[in-house]
Amino acid sequence: MSMFSCPNCGTLVSEGAAFCDSCGISLAAGAFPLLCPNCRAEVQSHDLYCDNCGYSLRDPRPPMIEEPAAMDADSEEEPAEIEQPAPRLLVLPAGTALMLDPDKDRHVIGRIDPASGSFPDIDLVPFGGEEGGVSRRHAQIARTEQGFVIEDLNSVNYTFVNKHKILRGTVQELKDGDEIRLGRVLLRFRIG
């Protein structure tokens, strides 16, 4: 089911809803333009992705939020050291985590295509990679002594970090929380 932002308050509403559940405004067809829930750019009801930010307009799921474990206030024990999660890519807006193998220094991101023999380490086909313009071998994330970097692998639709296009043949440092866009598929890099 498609979801769009209420043009009055920005709350996610189902396509075809007569009224916004939050503010009560009439959502009669044609009364307001449909807006992307991520960037609020105008979209069409038949669009699969927002042309402005790449947000998937189909099957939205709320982000998966990792809650820290609550500590017992009466406990006198030292808190156990919290193990840091492995580096990962969160597929936006759903928040699905794609874990980077901690034993590997390089991870190719793209889409599986058995006919051409393309088997990247991280496959974006289940997350709209094919429709979203992700190349078979789109980009590569590598671990260095200083941290992580990303490199575009001569993709057709480019690689962007925090809305800045990475030039082919160069690497871009990645920091925790950086936004990565491959074609129209939006990811968030997390290391903490």
- The pLDDT of residue 29: 55
- The pLDDT of residue 62: 40
Please give the CATH number for the structural domain made up of 88-190.
Answer: 2.60.200.20
- The pLDDT of residue 24: 64
- The pLDDT of residue 60: 44
Domain boundaries, the chain: 1-60, 88-190
- The pLDDT of residue 68: 47
pTM of the model: 0.56
Q: What is the mean pLDDT of each run of 10 residues along the chain (192 residues)?
A: 63 71 62 63 69 61 44 55 70 87 93 90 92 94 94 94 92 94 94 80
Per-residue 3-state assignment (H helix, E strand, C coil) for the chain: CEEEECCCCCCEEECCCCECCCCCCECCCCCCCEECCCCCCEECCCCCECCCCCCECECCCCCCCCCCCCCCCCCCCCCCCCCCCCCEEEECCCCEEEECCCCCCEEEEECCEHHHCECCCEECHHHCCCCCCCCCEEEEEEECCCCEEEEECCCCCCEEECCEECCCCCEEEECCCCEEEECCEEEEEECC
